Amino acid sequence: MHGKFISYNFVGGLAWVMIFLMSGFFFGNIPFVKDNFRYVAVGIILVSVVPMGWEMRKGKDNR
């Protein structure tokens, strides 16, 4: 059981790293992304943080 988990975990981790590595490589070569990297980074941060704020607000409304 543990061997199966470790092998799946390793393959999943490797796939995760390769997806993000290749995405960074391909998106980093797009001129629009190169020229406006600050805006792209802010967009990624907002997409990550806004759902958390949304859920926190929803939780306060349910009290």
> Among residues 23, 25, 27, which one has the least CA distance to residue 40?
27
The whole-number pLDDT of residue 11 equals 97
How far apart CA 39 and CA 46 sit, in angstroms, is 10
The whole-number pLDDT of residue 17 equals 97
The whole-number pLDDT of residue 32 equals 87
How far apart CA 37 and CA 44 sit, in angstroms, is 10
- pTM for this predicted structure: 0.55
The whole-number pLDDT of residue 8 equals 96
Q: Going residue by residue through the chain, which has 63 residues, state the pLDDT in tens, using 9 for 90 and above.
A: 798 999 999 999 999 999 999 998 998 899 988 899 899 899 999 999 999 999 998 877 766
| Number of domains within the chain | 1
> Among residues 12, 14, 44, which one has the least CA distance to residue 27?
44
How far apart CA 17 and CA 10 sit, in angstroms, is 11
Question: Range of 41's domain?
Answer: 2-61
